[in-house]
């Protein structure tokens, strides 16, 4: 594992991708927040730029493309607005694609009542913490603390952990100024990548997975790609990464995707 600054630039090493794409058809996985859309203070305000949207549309006409997000499936589809590609939402628990393809994790369905029980308890426990915001997706619950005073973050994290003690069917992961509460099931973005690889390999033959992501939850996907594939860390999440390459920003993501289109 390496820190982001130790990873080679995917733009400077574009020839690695050109060579790999000549050997196998790529399947390009894109994370949404922090990769296609810049991080902003309110999760509702995140947007993909018109230029990035056009780039991803062009990319999807040349290669297979999937957007893999922590957002709810309908939310990320709506925000990205790109037709005829695969999407995975709720960190991979719900997946959809062309020709009305739709798949949801059955085990996670059984855990949904636990979210209904936890959410009001957590809201009540955290009500005095100004700046905490909830985002309920079908299979996960995000608790955002970007607007919480920094000196209260430790207290906030402890309160969430304490509440979760009564919910063994749920667990918690961390992202950029967000706590992600998920079903306590062995499923994540990396598993969703594996699932789509299997599906599309059956349909289109052997493929090379390439994953671009910026956050800690994308590390599950980078790890999945360690068997075979190319992982690209966008920006920095403060920890060492399983990715192979890096890009500095959302702007560099667009520059890199443009280069792939021109191969």
Count of residues engaged in binding ligand L263DTV3, rule: CB under 6 A: 24
Which of 4, 55, 64, 69 binds ligand L263DTV3 (CB under 6 A)? It is 69
| Alpha-carbon separation of residue 234 from 139, 219, 246 (angstroms) | 25, 11, 6
30/197 with CB nearer ligand L263DTV3 = 30
63/211 with CB nearer ligand L263DTV3 = 211
Within residues 21-60, the interface with ligand L263DTV3 by CB under 6 A covers: 31-34, 39-43, 46
| Position 237 contacts ligand L263DTV3 (CB under 6 A) | no
List 15, 16, 31, 106, catalytic entry: 31
Minimum distance of ligand L263DTV3 from residue 24's CB (angstroms): 25
Which of 7, 48, 142, 200 binds ligand L263DTV3 (CB under 6 A)? It is 142
Residue whose C-beta lies closest to ligand L263DTV3: 70
54/177 with CB nearer ligand L263DTV3 = 177
Which of 21, 28, 52, 70 binds ligand L263DTV3 (CB under 6 A)? It is 70
| Position 215 contacts ligand L263DTV3 (CB under 6 A) | yes
- Is 31 assigned a catalytic role? yes
Minimum distance of ligand L263DTV3 from residue 28's CB (angstroms): 15
| Position 104 contacts ligand L263DTV3 (CB under 6 A) | no
Q: What torsion do the CA atoms of 237, 242, 247, 250 make, to the nearest 10 degrees? A: -50
Minimum distance of ligand L263DTV3 from residue 33's CB (angstroms): 3
Q: Please say whether the beta carbons of 208 and 27 come within 8 A.
A: yes
Quick note: the x/- pattern for ligand L263DTV3 over 147-186, rule CB under 6 A, is: ----------------------------xxxx-x------
DSSP the chain: -B-GGGSPBTTTTHHHHHHHHHHSEEEEEE-SBTTTB---SSGGG----HHHHHHHHHHHHHSEEEEE-SS-HHHHHHHH---SSEEEEGGGTEEEETTTEEEE-HHHHHHHHHHHHHHHHHHHHTTTSTT-EEEE-SS-EEEE-TTS-GGGHHHHHHHHHHHHTT-TTEEEEEETTEEEEEESSS--HHHHHHHHHHHHHHHH--EEEEEEE-SGGGHHHHHHHTSSSEEEEES--SS-B--SEEE-SHHHHHHHHHHHHH-
By annotation, the residues acting in catalysis are: 31
Contact residues toward ligand L263DTV3 (CB under 6 A) are 31-34, 39-43, 46, 69-71, 135, 142, 144, 146, 175-178, 180, 215, 217
């Amino acid at each position: 594992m390496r820190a982001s600054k130790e990873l080679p630039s995917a733009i400077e090493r574009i020839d690695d991708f050109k060579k790999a794409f000549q050997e196998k058809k790529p399947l390009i996985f894109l994370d949404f927040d922090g990769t296609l859309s810049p991080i902003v203070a309110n999760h509702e305000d995140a947007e993909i730029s018109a230029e990035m949207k056009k780039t991803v549309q062009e990319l999807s006409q040349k290669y297979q493309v999937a957007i893999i997000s922590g957002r709810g499936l309908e939310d990320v589809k709506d925000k990205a607005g790109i037709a005829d590609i695969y999407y995975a939402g709720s960190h991979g628990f719900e997946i959809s694609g062309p020709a009305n393809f739709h798949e949801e994790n059955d085990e996670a369905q059984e855990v949904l009542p636990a979210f209904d029980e936890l959410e009001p308890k957590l809201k009540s426990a955290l009500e005095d913490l100004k700046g905490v915001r909830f985002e309920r997706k079908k299979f996960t619950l995000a608790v955002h603390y970007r607007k919480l005073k920094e000196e209260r973050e430790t207290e906030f994290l402890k309160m969430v952990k304490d509440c979760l003690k009564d919910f063994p069917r749920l667990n918690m992961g961390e992202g950029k100024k967000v706590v992600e509460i998920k079903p306590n099931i062995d499923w994540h973005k990396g598993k969703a990548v594996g699932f789509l690889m299997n599906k599309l390999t059956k349909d289109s033959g052997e493929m090379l997975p390439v994953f671009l992501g910026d956050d800690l939850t994308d590390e599950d996907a980078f790890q999945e790609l360690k068997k075979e594939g190319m992982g690209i860390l966008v920006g920095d999440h403060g920890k060492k990464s399983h990715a192979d390459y890096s890009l500095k920003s959302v702007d560099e993501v667009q520059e890199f995707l443009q280069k792939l289109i021109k191969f």
